[in-house]
Amino acid sequence: MTASVRRRGRSSSRRRGGTTSPRTDTFSRTVAQVSGIPRASGTRPRLAGVHIFGRYSDNGAPGGLPQREEGGPLETFRPSIDWGNELAASASWVLIAWVVSASCLLAVGGALMRYTAWGGRFWRVTGGYFIGRASVPVWGMFATMLLSVILEVRITVLQSYYNNDLYSALQMAFEGVGGHNAAQRSSGVHGFWMAMVVFCILATLHIARIVFDTYLAQRFIIRWRIWLTDRLTGDWLAGRAYYRCRFNDPIDNPDQRIQQDIDVLTTGVGTGPNVPTYYSQSILVFGAVNSILSVCSFTVILWNLAGTLTIFGLTVPKALFWIVLAYVVVATVAAFWIGHPLIRLSFRNEQTNAAFRYALVRLRDAAEAVAFYRGERAERALLKERFDAIIANYRRYVRRTIGLIGWNYSATEAILPLPFLLQAPRLFAGSIRLGDVTQSATAFGRVQSGLSFFRNAYTQFAAYDAAIIRLHGLVEANDQARALPSLATAPSPDGSITLESVDVLTPSGAPLIEGLDLRLDPGGSLMIAGSSGSGKTTLLRSLAELWPKTAGQWSTPGGDHETMFASQLPYVPLGDLRTVVSYPGLPGEVDDDQLREVLTTVFLPHLCDSLDEGRDWAKVLSPGEQQRIVFARILLMRPKAVFLDEATSALDRGLELALYNLLRAELPDTIVVSVAHHEALRRHHQSHLELLGGGGWRLEQAA
């Protein structure tokens, strides 16, 4: 893609008789004094010296500028491009560039998604965001950001021509002042103010573009993060993958992957989460587009401004362009070699930090137990072990990053003076203007930075790839967890519970229960007893489709919350007390009067005025109060079947008896299945299932 900027040739003036007047000879004398090149009387000097890199020659002026004849400097300022017609030319260029860039992005993106492991992981994690009817506004924002990137490139190209005009006008004015040529000075002054007008227009366009671009990029990032967070939290919860994944090779810190890595992926910068100042060019894909377009656009300018360099008898036309191309290729290959371990080190850095953070959170949540054990010394040793792992990996990460940064900065800084070194002799010889030199440096810098984009952004790409790998690992683990075997479950048409040939095994494959058959009709009750380790809780896990080492089938009342399971350690969610009591229903589904009534019913009247209080209720409520909250939830949800796993273990016998009587009185048709160790609960159940271990069991009816 080329910049369709049309340069006008500057007219040269020749003094009659081939001599220069004193007013036009001033700049020539200055050039001769600065460059040290001998000057023949009455003629403009030609470059005949040897450049520091070799012999430099001019084979025509850059960018369509005609070869200047000897006899004096240009007497009037001429702009470097036709600014009056530039609006139409730039609009045409932007449109063509947008169409070509969009087509190339779609083609390259499709190839990456289809044929590379990186693309396959990316598409599996978030491909759904870019397909379907809901993706129409997504592609609209993406296309608009691409247009903004192309506009930025075009504005930068025009700024390079403004910069050329500015310095050329200043040079013209200085020559006019030094040569006492009022017309020449006036044309330079006029060119200066014209350049200022151009600057104001370009600056206004640039500011408007960057403000709109930042808004649009942030909207795109936020929308994507909302979608992906909903998609991955839903995927994690679906099929109880969040629990069942522990039976495979468990992934570390799914919470960190959902919270932090989604932020990194959707931001698209690679090295960290989103901040409000990020705009489209901060995103890696648009940064790459900007770099490629800049290379294409400024290559034309650099090609036109470059001269010929002779090194050891070898003539290199357009040397400035070929030097930067070869230099960047070598620097990029070296940078990739230095930085290739960064993906692994970045992944490990996030992993070790997450493990340390988890240990801190776990200590905070178990503070009372640790304090009772006086376990501070052991906890400190554990925290130190995890923190040492962070530091050991981070030292390697820092060393490798410093090596890459040092190389990148060295490669960038070492080549910065090159355009001035190569163009200065031509300026001293009067072949080009000062504006041409500054534009050469600008074009050289943009070509060099564009070609170096992937080298300079290697750490960002490494961090971005590490985030995708972690999120793909989460998705993969969820799928594997859902693929684990479970009991074949069917809804019961008559509200009964039926177990047919149910087998339950230990993790090693040893039998706990073999061939269990039973039926419970509505209103029935069953107590499950047995020695420790006989499989009581494991049987309930199997029925809840949590335990994978099981086989057989069972039927239970279907529908949301028609069958409830309550564990010995009640779950207390975050939020106010209203949320705690309403769980697993949603806050607001039950009115406050009903909540107060049920709290009073389960002997918690002192909590009736605390519904709006948002506290850490898991720590505020005692174990006995938490177990009474469980019975309040059962009374609110009114399930057709409820399984209680030692749900009254923290209660005294009086409260236990009262709650079971309450349950039977309020829900007479509900099937109640209880796991218990003591015989006091036998009288509350019609059937008794004793697990004998080794696969044996005995089912009895109450007398």
What architecture is domain 83-481? Answer: Up-down Bundle (1.20)
- Tens of pLDDT, residue by residue over 263-321, are 999 998 877 778 888 888 888 899 999 999 988 888 888 888 777 766 666 666 777 77
Per-residue model confidence (pLDDT) at position 661: 92
- Tens of pLDDT, residue by residue over 13-34, are 333 333 333 433 433 343 333 3
Cα(522)–Cα(78) distance, integer angstroms? 97
Per-residue model confidence (pLDDT) at position 31: 31
Per-residue model confidence (pLDDT) at position 551: 93
Per-residue model confidence (pLDDT) at position 313: 63
Same fold, 83-481 and 488-701: no
> Contact, 473 vs 265, CB < 8 A?
no
Helix axes 376-415, 342-365, angle to 10 degrees: 150
Cα(348)–Cα(94) distance, integer angstroms? 43
- Tell me how far apart the 2 most distant CA atoms of the chain are, in Å: 135
- Torsion sign across C-alpha atoms 14, 20, 22, 27: positive
Cα(129)–Cα(16) distance, integer angstroms? 73
Per-residue model confidence (pLDDT) at position 26: 39
Per-residue model confidence (pLDDT) at position 101: 95
* Length of the chain as a residue count: 703
| CATH (residue range 488-701) | 3.40.50.300
What is the DSSP pairing of strand 488-491 with strand 314-316? Answer: unpaired
Per-residue model confidence (pLDDT) at position 474: 94
Can you say how many angstroms the Cα of residue 518 is from the centroid of all Cα atoms in its chain? 52
Cα-based torsion angle of the residue sequence 121, 126, 131, 135 in order, rounded to the nearest 10 degrees: -150
Per-residue model confidence (pLDDT) at position 312: 66
Per-residue model confidence (pLDDT) at position 311: 66
- What is the percent of the chain with per-residue pLDDT over 70, rounded to a whole number? 88
- Torsion sign across C-alpha atoms 165, 204, 290, 297: negative
> Contact, 72 vs 28, CB < 8 A?
yes
Per-residue model confidence (pLDDT) at position 7: 40
**What is the DSSP secondary structure assignment for residue 54, as one 8-state letter?**
B
Q: Provide the residue ranges of all domains of the chain, joining segments of one domain with +.
A: 83-481, 488-701
Residues in the chain predicted with pLDDT less than 70, given as ranges, are 1-75, 309-316, 703
Cα(331)–Cα(336) distance, integer angstroms? 9
